[in-house]
Amino acid sequence: MECPIARSLEHVGEWWSILILRDAFGGLTRFDEFQKSLGIAPTMLTRRLAALVDAGLLERRLYQERPPRHEYVLTQRGYDFQPVLLTLFAWGRKHFAAPGYDKVLADTETGALVEPVLVDAKTGAPLDAPAMIVNPRTEEPGSRAAS
């Protein structure tokens, strides 16, 4: 598959994987912490953690030698997934939150409520449909290839 969405979903599309990443952003690193938080079967958790390590989203680190125990920490690729999680949280809260659900996104320093939006890094313009489409790559105006 060439589509970046399809290729990304090969690594994070299974819902346990996204919840493990959510918990990793919340500070969990150890197998038993993930298991307790998620209520996931140990065999499934082992498979999902291995897949996230193989995909380069988590790194497995030894924290105890006897018996050998590992923790799972976010890599840069894993940290780069945070905007996706925050946007998914906001979208899910708006459209699918359970009645009475009271968690919100807030700035850690000020406590102010925040609402994620996607913007173009160059112009700051919001990326919202129908103004945006996926096209084949073309050179930027003014580049050597376009001259």
Confidence of residue 125 (pLDDT cuts 50, 70, 90): confident
Which listed CATH number (1.20.1630.10, 1.10.10.10, 3.40.640.10, 1.10.3210.10) goes with 4-80?
A: 1.10.10.10
Confidence of residue 133 (pLDDT cuts 50, 70, 90): confident
Residue ranges of the chain that CATH labels 1.10.10.10: 4-80
Closest CA to 59 of 48, 49, 73: 73
Mean pLDDT of the chain: 90
Query: pLDDT for 15-69, tens place per residue?
Result: 999 999 999 999 999 999 999 999 999 999 999 999 999 999 999 999 999 999 9
Q: Is the dihedral of CA 97, 87, 126, 114 positive or negative?
A: positive
What percent of the chain has pLDDT above 90? 63
Query: pLDDT for 1-10, tens place per residue?
Result: 788 888 998 8
- DSSP string computed for the chain: ---HHHHHHHHH-SHHHHHHHHHHHTT--BHHHHHHHHT--HHHHHHHHHHHHHTTSEEEEEEETTTTEEEEEE-HHHHTTHHHHHHHHHHHHHHHPPTT-----B-TTT--B-----B-TTT--B--TTS-------PPTTSTTT-
Q: Which residue has the higher pLDDT, 147 or 48?
A: 48
Predicted pLDDT at 84: 93
Q: Which residue has the higher pLDDT, 13 or 130?
A: 13
